[in-house]
Amino acid sequence: MDIKERKKMKFKMKFSKNEISVIFVILLLSFINVASLNMMIPSYSAIIADFGEQYSSSIYIPDALSVLIAAFTMVVWGYYTDRLDRNKVIRWGVFLSILGFLLTIFVNSYGLLIVARIITGGGMGFAIPVGISILSDIFPAEERSGLFGFLAIFSSTSNGTGQGLSAFLGPLNILNLGWHFPFLILFGLAVIALFLLAFVKLPEMGSKEESLADLQEFDELQYGYRMSRRALISMMKKRTNRYLIINGLFSIVPGTIIIFSLITTFSHPTDGLLAVLPSEIRIQVSTLMAGVASVGYIVGSIVLSWLGDFLYNKNNKNRAILAFIVNALAVPFCLLMIFFLRPVMLSNMPAYPSEISNDQFGFYVSQTIGAIFTNYPSYIFYVIFSFLGTFLSAGMVTNKNAVMVDVNLPEHRGTATSLFQLTEQLGKSFTLMLTAGLLTILSRIGMGYRELLYISILFWIPSAFLWFLSTKSVVNDIYTKEITLRERSQVSFIDYFFELNMAMDDGIQFVLDGKAQLEKNPKKAEKLISEAIKKFKWIKNKAHKKMMPDIEVRVKLLGEHAKGFQKDLVSALKETPVSDSRLKELAEKINANWPESDLKNIQLLEESAYLKVIEARIGRNFNPIESGLSLQHAIEIYDRVINLCSDRIIEEGIKKLSLDEEELQERIHHLLVKAQKSKSNTELLKTKLSEIVNTVLKEDITRDELSSLFELTTDYNLKMTYVVEDAFGRKMWRKFSRVMGEIDDLFEEYDRWQSQE
C-alpha cells in the first residue's frame, strides 16, 4: 500500500469516542449560542407589556447590543483560540454565558435586560470561532462543506427551537417566569456543557490537514504554530479573506431582516398580515408561517453542502463558484416570495370564541393555517418561492465557511472565523438598530414590513459580486496554504531525524564519558553506561515504530555493545579491590569497539548555531530581547560543539595516526577553531545587544514594559529606532542609532569572517 493510499485510509477513519464527545459538546454550545441570541424575538410583545409601551420602538436594542458585543468579543475569543489552550477559552466563555442567562431570568427592568443581554453576548461570542476551529480539526477538507451544511441546518434548527421555546413556553407562564422561563432552560444546558468539558480532550491543531497527515503519525511532532499579530497581517493579505470579510456586511442583511422581521410581518397587532387573528394564537400562527421559509434553507444546506464537497473534489475553486451562482439566483426568488404575501381578513378565518383556552389552542392554530391556504392561494406561491429562495441562500453559508477553512492555516482559523463573523454580526447589529428608524420612514409613505423585506434582499447583489471576485483568488490562496503546510511538515521531519541522530550521539558520548571515569569513579562510569543503554533503547523503539531501519539497526548494535560492556564492568566492580589492569582493559575495549560520535552530526550542530545567529540578525532592528535569546541559544550550541570536538582531539605523541586518522583529526581541529571563534563573536554580539536593553532600562522603564514595546516593533514590522524616538525622544533615539550602527558593523564583520572560512 503506497503513502497516498495510507493517507486516504487515515482520513476515512471513523470518529473516535472522544471525537464524538467533542462534537456533541460543540453542538450543544452552538445550540445555546444561536438559541440565546434569537430567543427573545417571539416574546417582544410580552416584554413590551412587562416594561411599558414606551419601549415598543426600541425593543430591538437589547438584542442588537447583544449581537454587537458578541461580534466584537468574537474577535478576541477567536484570536486567543489560536494562541492559547482552547479548553480554557471555552470554559471562560461558558461561564460568562451562564452569568448572562442567570441575570436574564431575574431582570425586572428594561435597563437590566440590556445589561444581561450584553453579558450574554460577550460570553457566547466564543462559540462560533472556537467551534469551527475545533470541528475543522476533526473533519477533513473533502467533508467540510458537508460539515458546514450540517452546522447551517443545526443553526437554523437551533434558531427555530429557541424561538419555539419562547413562543410556546413563554405564554404558559411556567413557574410564574413568563418569557424568562426559556432562559432558565439555557442556563441548565450551559451548566451541563461546562461539566462535560472536563471529560473531553480537544483535537490537536491541524490534525485533519492532509498536508500534515504524515506529521500526525509522529506522537512527538505536534503542529506547534500559533497565531501572532504579525500572522494576522499576513492572513489579511489574502484576497479571498478580504473579499469574504467584506461580504459579511452585505450577505447578513437579508437573513437578519427575515429572521427578526418575518414573524413580526405576520404578527404585528396593527400592521401585521395576521393582525386580525385572536391574540391567543396570533404569535404562534405567525411563527409557523414564518417557519415555512426555513424548510428550503434546511434542504438547501443538505443538498448544496454535499454539492460543494463533490465539486471541491473536482476542483478546489468550485466551492466559490457555486456560492456565487446560488447567491445571484437567490435574489429574484426571494423577491417573489415577498411579492406573494397578502394580509388576511377576519371574515375568511374560522369563527373564534371570545377567549381561546389552552385545550383549544392546537385546534384553532391548525384551523387558521388551513383557512389561510384555502382562502389565499397566493400563500402557496409564497411557500414555493420561499423554499427556492432560502434553498439557494443556504449555499452561501455552507460554502463560505468551508472556503474560509480551505484558504487559512490551522492556527489562523479561529481568528479568521471571528473576523468573518465580526462583519456579519456588525451588519446584523446595525441592521437591527436601524430597522426601527427605517420602519418609521416607510410608515410615513404608506409602507411597512413587506417593503423592508424587499429592501433587505437587494443587499445580496453586492454580496454576489464579492463572491465573483473570490473565484479569481481562491485557488492561489489555497495553494499558498498547502505549500506552507508542506514546508512546515518537512522541516518537522528533518528536525525529528536530526534529533534522533543527536540522541544517538548523546548515547555514545555517555559511553565515552563512562570510559573517562573508569579509573577515577567506576560506579559513576557504570551509571553513565546505564544512561547510554536507556538512551539507545528509547531511540530503537522510536525508530522501529516510525519504520527507520537504518537508525534501528545501528542503534541496536550500539545497545548490545553497551550491555556487554556494562556486564563486564559490573563483574569487575565485584572484585575487591577493583583491579586497575581490568579497568584499563575495559577502557581499551571501548577504544576498540566504540566509534567516536558522528562528526557529521557535530557539523550539523554547528550549522544550527549559525542559523540562530542569522535569526538574531534578522530580528535585531525589531526586538533585541528576542535576538539576545537567539544568540544565547547559539552560544550554548557552540559550547557543546567545542566540548564534542575537544573530546575527539588526540594529543600529539600519544599514538601513531594513520593517514585517515590524521585527516579526521585535522577536520575536528578545524571545526573546533571555527566553533571557538564563532562563540567568541556571538558573545560579543550578545553583549552589545544587552547594552541597548540596559541603556533603555536606565530611563525608568521596566524590562516587562520594554518587552511589550519591542513586541510592537515585531507585530507591526516597525524598526526599533522609530518606536524609541516616539516613546523616549530624539536624545534617546541618537543613543540607540549609535549602538545599532555598532551592532550592524559587528554583524558585517561576522559575515566577513564566515565568508573567509
Q: What is the pLDDT of residue 658?
A: 64
Q: CB-based contacts of 741: which residues, under 8 Å, 6+ apart?
A: none
More confident residue, 213 or 121: 121
Considering the domain architecture, whether residues 318 and 380 belong to the same structural domain is answered as yes
Considering the domain architecture, whether residues 578 and 675 belong to the same structural domain is answered as no
pLDDT band at 465 (very low <50, low <70, confident <90, very high): very high
Q: Which three cell numbers stand for residue 417?
A: 472565523
Q: What is the pLDDT of residue 44?
A: 73
Considering the domain architecture, whether residues 441 and 571 belong to the same structural domain is answered as no
CA 423 and chain centroid, separation = 18
For residues 219 and 204, give the distance between their C-alpha atoms in angstroms, rounded to a whole number.
Answer: 11
For residues 350 and 589, give the distance between their C-alpha atoms in angstroms, rounded to a whole number.
Answer: 106
pLDDT band at 5 (very low <50, low <70, confident <90, very high): very low
Considering the domain architecture, whether residues 444 and 543 belong to the same structural domain is answered as no
pLDDT band at 724 (very low <50, low <70, confident <90, very high): low
Is 80 exceeded by the pLDDT of residue 506?
Answer: no
Q: What is the pLDDT of residue 230?
A: 60
> Where among 591, 624, 646 does a domain terminate?
591
Highest mean pLDDT among 228-237, 421-430, 474-483, 533-542: 533-542
Any idea what the Cα angle at residue 211 is, between residues 210 and 217, rounded to 5°? 75
- Please report whether residue 476 resides in a domain: no
More confident residue, 636 or 624: 636
- Please report whether residue 39 resides in a domain: yes
Q: What is the pLDDT of residue 557?
A: 81
Could you tell me the CA-to-CA distances from 537 to 37, 112, 449, 506, 560 in Å, in that order? 57, 66, 76, 13, 10
Q: What is the pTM of this model?
A: 0.52
Considering the domain architecture, whether residues 632 and 557 belong to the same structural domain is answered as no
Could you tell me the CA-to-CA distances from 444 to 454, 580, 716 in Å, in that order? 17, 111, 50
User: Nearest CA to 300 among 414, 387, 371?
Assistant: 387
Lowest mean pLDDT among 50-59, 489-498, 633-642, 689-698: 489-498
User: Nearest CA to 190 among 106, 99, 119?
Assistant: 99
pLDDT of 733-745, one tens digit each? 676 677 677 767 7
Q: What is the pLDDT of residue 225?
A: 45
Lowest mean pLDDT among 154-158, 245-249, 303-307, 345-349: 154-158
For residues 737 and 18, give the distance between their C-alpha atoms in angstroms, rounded to a whole number.
Answer: 56
What is the DSSP code (8-state) at residue 141?
A: G
User: Nearest CA to 693 among 749, 739, 635?
Assistant: 739
Count of domains in the chain?
3
For residues 38 and 260, give the distance between their C-alpha atoms in angstroms, rounded to a whole number.
Answer: 8
For every residue of 28-59, DSSP letters joined together read HHHHHHHHHHHTTGGGHHHHHHHH-GGGGGGT
> Where among 539, 562, 591 does a domain terminate?
591
Answer whether 500's CB lies under 8 Å from 492's CB. Answer: no
For residues 223 and 221, give the distance between their C-alpha atoms in angstroms, rounded to a whole number.
Answer: 7
For residues 642 and 748, give the distance between their C-alpha atoms in angstroms, rounded to a whole number.
Answer: 24
pLDDT of 85-135, one tens digit each? 677 777 888 888 888 888 888 888 888 888 888 888 887 777 777 777 777
Lowest mean pLDDT among 49-58, 268-277, 287-296: 49-58
Considering the domain architecture, whether residues 569 and 606 belong to the same structural domain is answered as no
- Please report whether residue 740 resides in a domain: yes
Q: What is the pLDDT of residue 707?
A: 61
The count of other CB atoms within 10 Å of the CB of residue 589 is: 16
- Please report whether residue 388 resides in a domain: yes
Q: What is the pLDDT of residue 325?
A: 93
For residues 645 and 659, give the distance between their C-alpha atoms in angstroms, rounded to a whole number.
Answer: 19
Could you tell me the CA-to-CA distances from 392 to 300, 303, 387, 399 in Å, in that order? 6, 10, 9, 12
- Please report whether residue 484 resides in a domain: no
Q: What is the mean pLDDT of residues 266-295?
A: 80
Highest mean pLDDT among 177-181, 649-653, 699-703: 177-181
Considering the domain architecture, whether residues 298 and 372 belong to the same structural domain is answered as yes
- Please report whether residue 108 resides in a domain: yes
Highest mean pLDDT among 17-26, 329-338, 474-483, 614-623: 329-338
Is 90 exceeded by the pLDDT of residue 329?
Answer: yes
Q: What is the pLDDT of residue 145?
A: 61
534: domain range? 490-591
Considering the domain architecture, whether residues 630 and 538 belong to the same structural domain is answered as no
- Please report whether residue 473 resides in a domain: no
Q: What is the pLDDT of residue 216?
A: 47
For residues 312 and 320, give the distance between their C-alpha atoms in angstroms, rounded to a whole number.
Answer: 9
More confident residue, 579 or 306: 306
User: Nearest CA to 416 among 425, 424, 404?
Assistant: 404
pLDDT band at 214 (very low <50, low <70, confident <90, very high): very low
More confident residue, 429 or 210: 429
For residues 369 and 430, give the distance between their C-alpha atoms in angstroms, rounded to a whole number.
Answer: 34
Is 60 exceeded by the pLDDT of residue 562?
Answer: yes
pLDDT band at 165 (very low <50, low <70, confident <90, very high): confident
Considering the domain architecture, whether residues 390 and 359 belong to the same structural domain is answered as yes
Dihedral sign, Cα of residue 437, residue 442, residue 444, residue 448: negative
Q: What is the mean pLDDT of residues 328-336?
A: 92
pLDDT band at 488 (very low <50, low <70, confident <90, very high): low
Q: What is the pLDDT of residue 498?
A: 61
Query: In 3-state terms, what secondary structure has residue 177?
Result: coil
Considering the domain architecture, whether residues 202 and 65 belong to the same structural domain is answered as yes
For residues 628 and 683, give the distance between their C-alpha atoms in angstroms, rounded to a whole number.
Answer: 10
More confident residue, 5 or 149: 149
CATH number for position 109: 1.20.1250.20
Burial class (CB in 10 A: 0-12, 13-18, 19+), 3: exposed
For residues 159 and 36, give the distance between their C-alpha atoms in angstroms, rounded to a whole number.
Answer: 8
The fraction of the chain above a pLDDT of 90, given in percent, is 3
Is 70 exceeded by the pLDDT of residue 177?
Answer: yes
Mean pLDDT of the chain: 75
pLDDT of 667-707, one tens digit each? 788 888 888 888 888 888 788 777 766 765 555 555 555 56
For residues 682 and 750, give the distance between their C-alpha atoms in angstroms, rounded to a whole number.
Answer: 9
Highest mean pLDDT among 228-237, 291-300, 423-432: 291-300
The rounded radius of gyration (Å) of the Cα atoms in the chain is: 35
> Where among 415, 443, 458 does a domain terminate?
458
Q: What is the pLDDT of residue 494?
A: 52
Q: How many alpha carbons fall within 13 Å on the CB side of residue 156?
A: 26
pLDDT of 402-412, one tens digit each? 787 778 776 66
CA 210 and chain centroid, separation = 17
Q: What is the pLDDT of residue 330?
A: 92
Q: Which amino acid is at 215?
A: L
Is 60 exceeded by the pLDDT of residue 209?
Answer: no
Considering the domain architecture, whether residues 576 and 684 belong to the same structural domain is answered as no
16 φψ region: left (φ > 0), alpha (ψ -120 to 50), beta (else): beta
pLDDT band at 220 (very low <50, low <70, confident <90, very high): very low
Considering the domain architecture, whether residues 749 and 699 belong to the same structural domain is answered as yes
For residues 61 and 118, give the distance between their C-alpha atoms in angstroms, rounded to a whole number.
Answer: 11
Q: Which three cell numbers stand for residue 694?
A: 540596559
Could you tell me the CA-to-CA distances from 115 to 63, 104, 106 in Å, in that order? 11, 9, 12
- Please report whether residue 221 resides in a domain: no
